[in-house]
Structure 1
Amino acid sequence: MDIEENIRTWLLKQQDWLQEAADRLLKQGQLTDEDIAQLASLLKTADGQAVTRHRPLDELRHDPKDVSEIRLARIDGVAGIESLGPRKPLDFGFGNLTVVYGHNGSGKSSYTRILKKVSGKPRAMELKANVFQAPPAESKCQISYKHDGADHSSEWHIGSAPIEALRQIDIFDSDEAGHYLRGESAATYTPPAVGLFEKLAAATDKIKELLQTEQAKLTSALPVIPADYQNTEVARSYGALHTIRNVADLEALLTWTDEQAQSLNTIVERLKADDPAALAKQKRGTKTQVDQILSGLSKAFISYNADNLEAIRCLRQAAVSKRQIATEGAQVQSAILDGVGAQTWRALWEAARNYSATPYPGTPFPATEDARCILCQQELMPEAQQRLLDFESFVQGKLELDATSAEDQHKAALDLLVEAPTEQLVQTQCEASGLNDGKWKDFLWAFWSRAAAARLALLNEEVIEDAVPVGDVKEAQLVLETYRDQLQADAVQFDADALQFDRAKATTDKLGLEAKKWVSQQALAVRAEIERLNNFKTYDGWKTLANSRQISLKATDISEKVVTEAYVARFNQELRTLGATKIQVELVKTRTKSAKVLHQVRLKGAKNAQGTPETVLSEGERRIISLAAFLADVADKPGSSPFIFDDPISSLDHDFEWHVACRLVQLAKHRQVLIFTHRLSLYGAMDDVSKKEGEAWQKQHYRPMCIESYAGTSGQPADQEVWNTNTKKANNILLTRLDTARKTGDADGAAAYRALAQGICSDFRKLIERSVEEDLLNKVVLRHRRSVTTDGRLSQLQGILPEECAVIDDLMTRYSCFEHSQSQETPIVIPEAPDLKVDIERLKQWRQDLSDRRAQLAA
């Protein structure tokens, strides 16, 4: 299975949100903030967390090569940055190899620091203004470059963002050298398929950061529990709401019951009590009053519940019915008047019966023998006597007895109805029972009012209105019974307190109940906090899904094959190219971080783990190793962007220096290479090595330059000095300068002439030396070149004429005083302009004659 298919197979085993992130990266190359927000939203859903296989991910097989080209053209307009103050641009020309020479303090590193900053390098130093001058109005420079053939020029200010197109530049300086020696580094370039993991890891980190930001907004609004309650059990539960697992536990924490309220009141009373025994008596008295209320409620409910009301109605109906039957059955033949058997008549009859016992004691009613009528007191005639006996027989008959019995039962039931207390008595009962809540008085009075109304309706035989049941009082009875039992328990407790009272325990219990009450009052805040904690926990789960560890693990697996092996191979090749194979170092993979495989240079075969390249190797060895690591890292990147080297051969010997020069020229065959150096030996070596690539190549690509410092500022590009051009051109430069010095002397006097002529004489002395190396000896030996070059050159040395040597001896003798210290007793006389011109022209002619003669011999 190839790498791309391996990656595709792995991706299709991941959750949908991660697949979507990979798909967008493959299509877009990068993710916007909107993409990150959308992916975070997708991650939160069940669909986003599902594993899907519908994406083709075809872009994995596309590996577009970076063919972009960047070339630095010049830096100009430098103002307020470091000590730089160039009057002319630092122009890098059109070739691929530019060597900028300058003494220490000439501004080379300042230019490098600017380029590191504008290209956004991670170890770029902060730029500052010249500390020996007043703060500048602005700190800026102008960077000109070509991007894919198009010219660009950007004004860049200190503190502004890097120039995006220049991020491709690679820069090597002392800081980078130290980084490759001391730290871990990831390969700068990785194939797109592998780079996908770095981008995925970065994306998941951003998603996780977004989730973290959202989670951070879930701030708690839970009130802080009062300090007095901090040590209670309830406080511990309140402080550990995240441990609550179910609704029942939460409700148990937030519920505040009447029993708990009563318990708190009891404890408060106990703590206040000076005479517990008296309080026990008081509680029992209150309990008695509650029992009376309960008894009244119970009796009234028995009297006025729906069943009893219906029973009374039945008794009333029975009495009415039987009376009607008895009345209808009252057939007294001897009766003359109507109404016999009616209620009024029966009342009159019973009154007569009672009165009869007075005039006729001991005689059964009605008395008829030798008796008078007890109403009119007339003598009873036989007919009247029989009528009375008929009346009594009727009264004592079964129908009458049934009717009377039914009426008695109805009356007895009415007599058993509980009579309602007055409203004042209800108020008094509530106060005596400690039921001071107005709701109890309202409830009881409403209950008794319904009872009174029902009683009145029953007594009126429901002629005006029906009797209505008083309703169920079980709930009220249960509350009152609980209250009664609590009073009894309190009384028992006070009895116990009268004997012995544990005040400390009571105080602890009181605080616990008060804390419980306080927590119950925070119910809304607690429920909101539980919801927040649940949401917070959900975010923890989402952040776990956004962890880049699985991506890093896969990146390690892929990178081992695609990145590490190639990186190590490049490093070993660079060691060979730079002539550093004898140094016992190796590049090894250390770990993976955010899907990037990190590598580090280590000593090979070291027995002591404390030994590091930085502590064991010499300064020169460290330099060449770090250069090899740098080149292995960046040299094979696709595209074409500049390499910048700031003193790359610092601390290197001549052997390493030569290898470095050769490697830099090889780099310059394909990319722009800018070298800043203070070593003339490297300056010469670069000229020599570049010439090996052919005169045409050197002429097209090699550009030696010089910068200098003057009057407190640095970075000024200097004119090509006498030692930096070919000897023929140098001769002409000196003649031009001499003409300028002569004109200055004519205008400003001898002193002005001598000031300029002094330098001309010095440079003329250098030119004479170079004429010996390059012209007389035909460049077989050069001071700043490592090799002695004989191929095709020695033949030109045959037949050097004595007079040619004499010219050199004469000029060297007369002009040595301008380059070498002289005795103070021997004055140095600067030649007049005509005399100096003669000598310069003489050397020029000498060179021409030598060249012509050698050309004739060669022909």
Structure 2
Amino acid sequence: MNEVNEIAGAEKQIETLETEVKKFADGLPHWAKFLAQKLLLGNTISDNDIDTSYSYLLEQLKLKVETEKAEISIDYNAENAGNYKSDLLLTKLENIEGVNALTENQTIEFSPNLTIIYGANGSGKSGYVRLLKNVFYSKAPEEILQNVHLDNGHKAVNARFTFKSNNIETLLGFVNKDNAEFEQFAVFDGKSVLNHLERRNEFEFRPAGLSFFADYTTAIVTVEQKLNNDIQAKQLGSTADDLSAMFDGDSEIKTIVLRLNAETSIDDLKRYTPFSDEDKIQKEAMQKQYDELLLASRGKEKEIRNLEGIKGLLAQSKQSIESLNPFFTTDILTKVKTAITDCITKEATAKAEGIENFNTDKIEGVGTTEWKNFIVSAEIFAKVQKAENVVYPDNRDNCLLCQQPLSDEAQKLILDYWAFIKSVAEQNAKQAQEKLDKVQEKYESLTFDLFPQDNTLTVWLSEKYPNELEILNQKLSEQKALAQNIISDIQNKTVNERAEVKISTEQYTDIENAIDEKIKLLKENEQSKELEKLSNSKCFLEHKEKFNVHFSKFETFVNNQVWLKKANKADFAKRKVTDTEKTLSNKYFNQKYIDAFNDECKKLNGNFGIEINHTGTAGKSYRQLKLKGRNPNAVLSEGEQKVIAIADFIAEMQLSPVNRGIIFDDPVTSLDNDRKKQIAERLAFQATIKQVIIFTHDLVFFYHIKNFSKKFLSGINDSFVHHSLERESPLCGKVVANTSPANEGQYNNPTKAEEWLRKSKATNGNDRVDCAKAGLSALRTSYEALAIFTILGGTVQRFDPQIRMGRLKDIKFEKLLIETVVEKHGEISDLIEGHLPSDEFGIVPSPEILEEQIENFKTLKEQLKNLQ
């Protein structure tokens, strides 16, 4: 027994990503477990799988008859997740068509380890990289452009990719880019840098167990959407309000329809079915009885309507009286008198303080309103004549009216006018007058003719309540007279005592009560009661008839409400998925990534204090790089940004069980030599782990890669391949296989020059000269190789920062021979320089000259080799 417990305890302690994913899947409801099983077996979720899962969900929600289902056993093996191949290689890219300006029928073969494609700017690198970014994973994918040199006849984008796994080749076209093979390669270029540094990036390649959560979330969201579509379809039907609107009037049937919901019993609804022949006969008899009684009661109904109309008019009239009264209270009249007094006082003050200074016998009306308005208008017009902040008048100004020059006295008078209209006393007087004007406007707007002669209410009151009407009109006349007196006091600025005039509304209340009593008496008539009773019974039977005609609508509505109530109980637990994925990511992946990233930063000399924030949502994991709480690109230099981005890229690809190849496009642009060397070393090392392909135009970086390939890949067959790209105007992207700045050693012998010599002898005319010139160019390169590898013994090589001290013993030095090498190199340069041949000497490159120069080279090389 103890042994059994020990085994059980040991099994409990062994916890892996796979076992925890399995535990999560085992705890899912049957409909979700069905999807989880499919995914964990490495299958793609099909539409049929979604339909099956949805059917199981409906059974769980009691929306469908439950069926017997086989028990689902979660048998999870990480190797089942995805159609990925651990030994996959990209061996060849060929037959490219429809890509901007790229020459067709080109082939690039790739090494299993490290491939460099060298090309100067404009040689076609961008076209190839844009194609690769379109089919492989990239953080900055680009649209593939068509050939801009063609107006029409564009071909569709196409290319053939050859992959190899288990020694079996798979050929896939551009249209097959959704195949799993394309997901196992990733591209990094300059446009990816900001995306690495600025954005919250999803981990594209993670352990299969963690990738399960994103795929599972996508599947359950699809099931959820299917349920939501059905919910929406059932909600699009009529509402309870719509159904109740089918019934005019009120009845218990309409009330029941209005309250239809998921709790409504269909059996309760069936109590009102069927609408029988007896119901039909009863409805017709009741309708006849109601019509006869209604005809007899029409006079009383008309009287009730009239009285209710008069009551409404009385209410409006009463409201008008109540709106007039506040204008004629003692308090308001006192405030009007005070306002008049205040205005008189302030005008007197203004006159005493300023107007008297302007009295003259030359003009009349000094101090009047017209006089003040004239000054105000003159000041406004004067401002139009001058620039901002410049005051009119000055010594050069003329009068605005007569255009005559202004004397000093006239200028002072005008300035005194401006000062006067801005004085405090004048402003106070102005404000007091404006206040009085507003009071006057209010009284002038009052309406006192509330009882016109032909008005319906006036006619009715004249007949029913003449005394009350006379009293109201009398009081309205008194208020009107008082309003006119108040307006006169304001206009003349006279202070008079005015007595309050208030109109009582008690008579309105008495009249309204009398009308209510009259209406009550009319309504309490037995005939009215019987009409109401007949109307209700008749309405019920009409509703019952319509209810039976549309019964299926009510039944469907209730069933839909029941369905919706159950459907809304569906729990997709997406929060639980995200939390589980986040927990497992932190436990099995995130720290590994952080360690890998920090290790790459260290090896790239990029320890800048970068922090990594991890988040998760919808079953996916994301990371965000931060430096002191800010995006790194806002703090670091361009070179430092590129180092961090490359470290981020390599770290993610290192941890990916899926990724088998990484592709770089000019990863060291604008970096210094030290940075180029560090990155070259890391990429060459990566080639020992997975396939590395590099496009570059940087010769220094090229030579660093070449040197580090010897360090890491020495002894591995075909581990380092290099090609060149050339431009053939107007097209580019011509592939020159197995040639690049790295194979300059092929010029140790004049082999290339001899090839051109044979071509030159086989052609005529300008082609003969061109081939001879090309041969001389190749021979000049051979002289340069002679200097590097023979004379200097390889001690110093181009773009190599190291001096190979061990080769000093191989240096060949004989001054006369070296001077001859320099002389011959100069002769060849003169023959192939890009200018016209000398008119004086008339030397044109020819096969004979080329052949002579080749023989000279061979002789010199042999003589140098024989030096001790």
What's the offset of the Cα at 1:557? 0.8
Pair 1:843-2:862 in alignment: no
Q: Quickly say closer, same or farther: Cα 1:209–1:496, change in 2 above 3 A.
A: closer
1:465-503 per-residue CA deviation (whole Å, 9 max, x = no partner) reads xxxxxxxxxxxxxxxxxxxxxxxxxx99792499xx9xx
> How far, CA to CA, are the matches of 1:111 and 1:78 in structure 2?
9
Q: Which runs of 5+ in 2 are unaligned?
A: 1-12, 306-517, 529-535
> How far, CA to CA, are the matches of 1:773 and 1:272 in structure 2?
128
What's the offset of the Cα at 1:85? 2.1
1:724-763 per-residue CA deviation (whole Å, 9 max, x = no partner) reads 431445621122113212332xx3x2x3333333344444
In structure 1, the residue matched to 2:553 is 525
> How far, CA to CA, are the matches of 1:850 and 1:713 in structure 2?
43
Counterparts of 1:236-315 in structure 2, within 5 Å, are 244=261, 246-247=263-264, 273=298, 276=301
> How far, CA to CA, are the matches of 2:196 and 2:805 in structure 1?
40
Q: Quickly say closer, same or farther: Cα 1:846–1:83, change in 2 above 3 A.
A: same
Pair 1:553-2:579 in alignment: yes
- What amino acid does structure 2 have at the position aligned with 1:16? H
What's the offset of the Cα at 1:714? 2.0
CA contact (8 A) 2:61 2:569 kept: no
In structure 2, the residue matched to 1:162 is 178
In structure 2, the residue matched to 1:584 is 609
> How far, CA to CA, are the matches of 2:698 and 2:622 in structure 1?
34
Counterparts of 1:167-566 in structure 2, within 5 Å, are 167-218=183-234, 220-222=236-238, 244=261, 246-247=263-264, 273=298, 276=301, 495-496=522-523, 523-542=551-570, 545-566=571-592
Q: Aligned residue pairs: how many?
A: 615
- What amino acid does structure 1 have at the position aligned with 2:656? K
Q: Quickly say closer, same or farther: Cα 1:569–1:142, change in 2 above 3 A.
A: same
Name the stretch that deviates more: 615-624 or 512-521: 512-521
In structure 2, the residue matched to 1:713 is 731
CA contact (8 A) 2:750 2:778 kept: no
CA contact (8 A) 1:78 1:142 kept: yes
> How far, CA to CA, are the matches of 1:239 and 1:169 in structure 2?
66
Pair 1:655-2:681 in alignment: no
CA contact (8 A) 2:125 2:733 kept: yes
> How far, CA to CA, are the matches of 1:709 and 1:649 in structure 2?
23
What's the offset of the Cα at 1:680? 2.0
In structure 2, the residue matched to 1:474 is none
CA contact (8 A) 1:571 1:587 kept: no
> How far, CA to CA, are the matches of 2:46 and 2:700 in structure 1?
51
CA contact (8 A) 1:117 1:162 kept: no
Q: Which runs of 5+ in 1 are unaligned?
A: 281-490, 502-508
CA contact (8 A) 2:261 2:561 kept: no
- What amino acid does structure 2 have at the position aligned with 1:685? H
Which of the residues 737, 760, 769 maps onto 1:741?
Answer: 760
3-state SS in 1 of match to 2:798: coil
3-state SS in 2 of match to 1:741: helix
What's the offset of the Cα at 1:693? 3.9
3-state SS in 1 of match to 2:59: coil
> How far, CA to CA, are the matches of 1:642 and 1:735 in structure 2?
40
CA contact (8 A) 1:187 1:567 kept: no
CA contact (8 A) 1:220 1:532 kept: no
> How far, CA to CA, are the matches of 1:722 and 1:707 in structure 2?
9
What's the offset of the Cα at 1:675? 1.2
Which of the residues 169, 176, 180 maps onto 1:151?
Answer: 169
In structure 1, the residue matched to 2:492 is none
Name the stretch that deviates more: 67-76 or 242-251: 242-251
In structure 2, the residue matched to 1:602 is 626
CA contact (8 A) 1:742 1:753 kept: yes
Name the stretch that deviates more: 566-575 or 718-727: 718-727
In structure 2, the residue matched to 1:755 is 770
1:299-326 per-residue CA deviation (whole Å, 9 max, x = no partner) reads xxxxxxxxxxxxxxxxxxxxxxxxxxxx
Structure (1 or 2) with the larger CA radius of gyration:
1
Pair 1:666-2:685 in alignment: yes
In structure 1, the residue matched to 2:128 is 111
1:656-713 per-residue CA deviation (whole Å, 9 max, x = no partner) reads 211121112112223222211122222222222223346644x622111111222322
In structure 1, the residue matched to 2:827 is 814
> How far, CA to CA, are the matches of 1:267 and 1:841 in structure 2?
137
Pair 1:89-2:107 in alignment: yes
3-state SS in 2 of match to 1:85: coil
* Pairwise CA RMSD: 4.9
Which of the residues 135, 142, 145 maps onto 2:160?
Answer: 142
Pair 1:833-2:859 in alignment: no
> How far, CA to CA, are the matches of 2:585 and 2:205 in structure 1?
12
> How far, CA to CA, are the matches of 1:150 and 1:89 in structure 2?
20
> How far, CA to CA, are the matches of 2:658 and 2:236 in structure 1?
53
Pair 1:132-2:149 in alignment: yes
> How far, CA to CA, are the matches of 1:809 and 1:130 in structure 2?
46
3-state SS in 2 of match to 1:532: helix
3-state SS in 2 of match to 1:73: strand
> How far, CA to CA, are the matches of 2:292 and 2:654 in structure 1?
85
What's the offset of the Cα at 1:633? 0.8
What's the offset of the Cα at 1:595? 1.6
In structure 2, the residue matched to 1:285 is none
CA contact (8 A) 1:221 1:525 kept: no
Q: Quickly say closer, same or farther: Cα 1:250–1:840, change in 2 above 3 A.
A: farther
In structure 1, the residue matched to 2:29 is 15
What's the offset of the Cα at 1:643? 2.1
- What amino acid does structure 1 have at the position aligned with 2:46? T
3-state SS in 2 of match to 1:141: strand
- Identity among equivalent positions (%) equals 19
3-state SS in 2 of match to 1:76: strand
Q: Quickly say closer, same or farther: Cα 1:795–1:598, change in 2 above 3 A.
A: same
> How far, CA to CA, are the matches of 1:572 and 1:210 in structure 2?
44
> How far, CA to CA, are the matches of 1:195 and 1:679 in structure 2?
38
CA contact (8 A) 1:108 1:676 kept: yes
Tell me the TM-score normalised to structure 2 length. 0.61
